Amino acid sequence: MKNDFRMKYPLWMMGFILVLGMFLFGVSSPVTDIVNTETEQSMSVEYGLIAGFVIIGSLLLYFLMLIIFYVQLRRHNEKNPTQKISPFAVRPPEYLEQDEGMTHITRKASQKVYSFMIWSLPMLAVFAMFSPLSRIYTVLAILLVAFIQYVIYYLEIRKHFKEEKE
Amino acid sequence: MLKNRVKELRARYGFTQSDLGKQVNVTRQTIAFIEKGEFSPSITLSLKLAKVLQTNVNELFWLEEDDGNEE
């Protein structure tokens, strides 16, 4: 069960969010030069060496992770033809609902995430409205909330599986 | 809190958690959650467990607060 892809799904999402954060960090610091005169109109965006490295590195990492993720997803679907996961599912595939016991722990984990979301989202909205920081920090804050919700979900589910022994 | 005798009776009949889970059509993990008292099974599952473990629901599950009333 611990190797069930659905258990690892939140970890994958956390990984994707981290890489997205890295990418965001890279693209957030360009040197922008805008020329707007009667004779010339141009805009140049220049990234430094480190920022460029972070952008390309994060993009490569993202696609590499995407390939591994897809391979693992296919492997799971081949092994579990009755519990296939669609990569485009609207319903979160990390839900474990084979029986009432699994549904119970999924519900507990979901409740914890919901409790986190009901106070973190208003705080995020206030932050976005009044923050003197640039827009990039608001996006990072959104990613942070998304990351934390997966951490909460994963830790709650893992807690139950860690304790149970045959 | 709901207490139970599932582990004791399962051991008596020599079932593993997986064996018992298969017989009542739930995962091994669910049996483990029930044994730990972490999860209270539905009436349907309780009846199925009682049937497999050859007892009745009252013998298999009871409330902790009723412990003091037992003779």
* Per-residue model confidence as pLDDT tens digits over A13-55: 999 999 999 998 888 777 677 788 888 888 777 777 888 888 9
Q: Does the distance separating the beta carbons of A160 and B29 come in below 8 Å? A: yes
The answer to whether residue B64 is domain-embedded is no
Query: How confident is the prediction for chain A on average, in pLDDT?
Result: 89
B8-19 pLDDT tens trace: 999 999 999 999
Residue position matching structure tokens 């009432």: A100
pLDDT number for residue B45: 96
The mean pLDDT value for B18-46 works out to: 93
Dig out the tokens for A145 from the structure: 């909330």
Predicted interface score ipTM higher than 0.90: no
Domain spans in chain A, listed from the N-terminal domain onward = 5-164
| β-pairing verdict for B61-63 and B2-4 | antiparallel
Dig out the tokens for A165 from the structure: 């022994």
The answer to whether residue B63 is domain-embedded is no
CATH number at residue B10: 1.10.260.40
Using CA atoms, how far apart are residues B69 and A126, in angstroms rounded to an integer? 55
The mean pLDDT value for A131-142 works out to: 90
Domain count, chain B: 1
CB distance A13 to A150 below 8 Å:
yes
Q: Which domain holds residue B7?
A: 2-56
- pLDDT of A165 over the 90 cut: no
The mean pLDDT value for A68-84 works out to: 91
Q: Which of A99, A159, A166 to mutate to test the interface with B (most CBs of B within 10 A)?
A: A99
| Side-chain-facing half-sphere of A14: CA atoms under 13 Å | 15
- The H or E element that residue B27 is part of is none
The answer to whether residue B20 is domain-embedded is yes
Using CA atoms, how far apart are residues A80 and A18, in angstroms rounded to an integer? 29
The answer to whether residue B71 is domain-embedded is no
Q: Is B54 on the interface with A (CB under 8 A)?
A: no
Using CA atoms, how far apart are residues A87 and A141, in angstroms rounded to an integer? 26
Q: Is B29 on the interface with A (CB under 8 A)?
A: yes
pLDDT number for residue B71: 47
The mean pLDDT value for B17-46 works out to: 93
**A69 pLDDT tier (thresholds 50, 70, 90):** very high
The answer to whether residue B52 is domain-embedded is yes
Using CA atoms, how far apart are residues A104 and A21, in angstroms rounded to an integer? 33
**B40 pLDDT tier (thresholds 50, 70, 90):** very high
- pLDDT of B69 over the 70 cut: no
pLDDT number for residue A163: 60
